[in-house]
Structure 1
Amino acid sequence: MAPKPIASPVPDAWYPTLAVVMLSLGLLFTASFFIYEATSSRKSRSLAKELITGTVASVFLGFGSLFLLLASGVYV
């Protein structure tokens, strides 16, 4: 039995759209994080909120960067 070729679970035509959407969401969460840090006092900050917002922003920016590289032809 011949091995099956490796295929992407996401169609190639979706790469640019996914890159724009995920990078936009990542930048939105990053801006939200910075606004929260700048406008809240030290005593009213929540570590859980900071970690969750930072993690979500990081995941969206990471996958957005991946799809941007894939859309531009850099296969990683």
Structure 2
Amino acid sequence: MGSKAAAISSPVPVAWYPTLAVFMLAIGLIVTASFFIYEATSSRRNRSLAKELTTGAIASLFLGFGSLFLLLASGVYV
């Protein structure tokens, strides 16, 4: 009855938030740029749906986590 609940802590050290935000957003923007370059330079017949979905998913993942760490680094706890 007298057991105390354990405090919730982040699996990532708080000091890493700004660095993770910068690197993940940079990688996400680079992958996004490569997606746009691929779309602009390939013809309609040569496009691959699998490549488009994979590139979009990777960019989305990095930009999403990069945005999360940016918010956490700036003090907005979500």
Q: Whole-Å Cα distance in 1 between the matches of residues 16 and 28 of structure 2?
A: 18
What is the aligned counterpart of 1:22 among 16, 21, 24?
A: 24
Report the AA paired with residue 29 of structure 1: V
**2:48 alignment partner in structure 1:** 46
Q: Which segments of 5 or more consecutive residues in structure 1 lack a partner in the other structure? A: none
Report the AA paired with residue 21 of structure 2: A
**Number of residue equivalences:** 76
Secondary structure in 1 aligned to 2:12? coil
**TM-score, normalised on structure 1?**
0.99
Report the AA paired with residue 11 of structure 1: P
Q: Whole-Å Cα distance in 2 between the matches of residues 28 and 60 of structure 1?
A: 10
1:2 CA displacement: 1.0
1:1-76 aligned at under 5 Å gives the runs 1-76=3-78
CA RMSD of the aligned region, Å? 0.3
1:69 CA displacement: 0.2
Identity of aligned residues (%): 76
**TM-score, normalised on structure 2?**
0.96
Whichever of the two has the greater Rg, that structure is: 2
Q: Which segments of 5 or more consecutive residues in structure 2 lack a partner in the other structure? A: none
